[in-house]
Amino acid sequence: MLIAHLSDAHIGPLPAPRLRELAGKRVTGWMNWRRGRAQTHDMEALARIRADIHAHAPDHIALTGDVVNIGLTAEFPAARAFVETLGPPDQVSFTPGNHDAYVRSALAPLRQYLGPWMSSDAGEAPGPVDGFPFLRRRAGVAFVGLCSGVPTLPFLASGRLGARQLAAAEAMLAQLRAERLCRVVLIHHPPHVGGAGPGRGLTDAGAFARMIARVGAELVLHGHNHVISLARIPGPDGAVPILGAPSASAMAGMHNHLAGYHLIRVTPDGVRSRLTAETRGFRDGQREMVQNLPPVADGGRLDPLP
């Protein structure tokens, strides 16, 4: 199976908000967009990332959050239109980020517009927290979608899973292990301790790590930091790789913030699944799409990224 993993598209331009919509946290988000994000996130680059993904004809696409910016209702139609261009719900799995759940009033349009891409397969029981975790089975691979995007106070970008979602995920991963499926966990925030700075991390990363130590997973995919990263946490069958994607639209700022995505090849065989990965995207100062990291693999474990 070939999986494309992208994240943090931050679809623009941002529609003009009504004055009442800028109450609270959205004021700072609107100012951040005007001061820099509008120039950082390049929709032409995002379109070229999408075209490159389609050129490789992946079997499934994982999108790990932040398709909008400040959670305006008017942002979600454009976000849905973008997700539709990636593929139909049975070919694309989406899990929300902190910008998608920026404020409480964003949760209803998030579910309304993107619900089909963040739901379990027909016949699978929905998760206990607004349908999360969701479960999708594809040719020996099980995608387990977790929601870490929750409304937070101004100047915070942290995430949380909560005890009920974690317990449901543990039971799900244990059952999938017994079924000898390759388990790929999707989440927006880096789910390991120290994976993001103060006020930006997953508040229950320790609980997530303890859960994985008990039941394991073959791969965890996340976004949020806008950089390529690889970490590992202990699992019952060996270290579990946690692969972070860059922003799929960023074309300004530091060189390691440039737009890109992962291609992951999986030979599913339960806990003995083999995985290889490469990152494609843009190099600093260039507008041509390149494979900007070599393939990484090691007998079922992802090698460290250079």
Of 49-53, 183-187, 287-291, the one with minimum mean pLDDT is: 287-291
Instruction: Work out the pLDDT band at 165, boundaries 50, 70, 90.
Output: very high
Position 31 scores a pLDDT of 75
Give percent of the chain with pLDDT exceeding 70. 90
Class of residue 45 by CB neighbours under 10 A (exposed 0-12, middle 13-18, buried 19+): buried
In this prediction, residue 21 carries a pLDDT of 72
* pLDDT, position 83: 98
> Which of the residue ranges 108-112, 147-151, 285-289 would you say has the lowest mean pLDDT?
285-289
Nearest one of 78, 225, 203, 108 to 152, comparing CA atoms: 203
Q: How far apart are CA 83 and CA 61, in angstroms?
A: 10
Q: Is the Cα dihedral 224, 225, 228, 232 positive or negative?
A: negative
pLDDT exceeds 70 at position 254? no
Question: Smallest Cα–Cα separation from 137: which of 87, 96, 93?
Answer: 93
Provide the b/e sequence for 255-279 (b: ≥16 CB within 10 Å). Answer: eebbbbbbbbbbebebbebbbbbbb
Please provide the average confidence, as pLDDT, over all residues in the chain. 89
Print burial letters for 92-111: b (CB count within 10 Å at least 16), e (below 16).
Answer: bbbbbbbbbbbbeebbebbe
Give 46-66 pLDDT, tens digit per residue.
999 999 999 999 999 999 999
Segments in 190-290 forming alpha helices (H): 205-215
CA-based nearest residue to 94, from 68, 109, 114: 114
Is a pLDDT exceeding 90 seen at residue 264?
A: yes
Number of residues in the chain: 306
> Can you give the pLDDT at residue 258?
84
pLDDT of 296 higher than 50: no
Return all residues near 144 (Cβ < 8 A) that are at least 6 apart: 133, 134, 135, 169, 172, 173, 176, 183, 184, 185, 186, 217
- For the cut 70, the answer to whether the pLDDT of residue 70 exceeds it is yes
Each residue's pLDDT tens digit, 207-219:
999 999 999 999 9
> Per the CATH hierarchy, to which homologous superfamily does domain 2-293 belong?
Metallo-dependent phosphatases (3.60.21.10)
Nearest to 280 by CA among 258, 253, 304: 258
- The per-residue pLDDT for 22 is 74
User: What is the model's pLDDT at position 286?
Assistant: 62
Quick one: how far is CA 73 from the chain centroid? 21
Residue type, 34: R
Between 190 and 155, the more confident residue is 190
The answer to whether residue 231 scores a pLDDT higher than 70 is yes
Span 97-134, pLDDT tens digits: 999 999 999 999 999 999 999 999 999 988 999 999 99
CB 6 within 8 A of CB 48: no
Determine the pLDDT at residue 228: 87
Given a cut of 50, is residue 303 above it in pLDDT? no
Residue 148: pLDDT band with limits 50, 70, 90:
very high
Confidence class for position 284, pLDDT limits 50, 70, 90: low
User: Of 155-164, 168-177, 254-263, 272-281, which range is least confident?
Assistant: 254-263
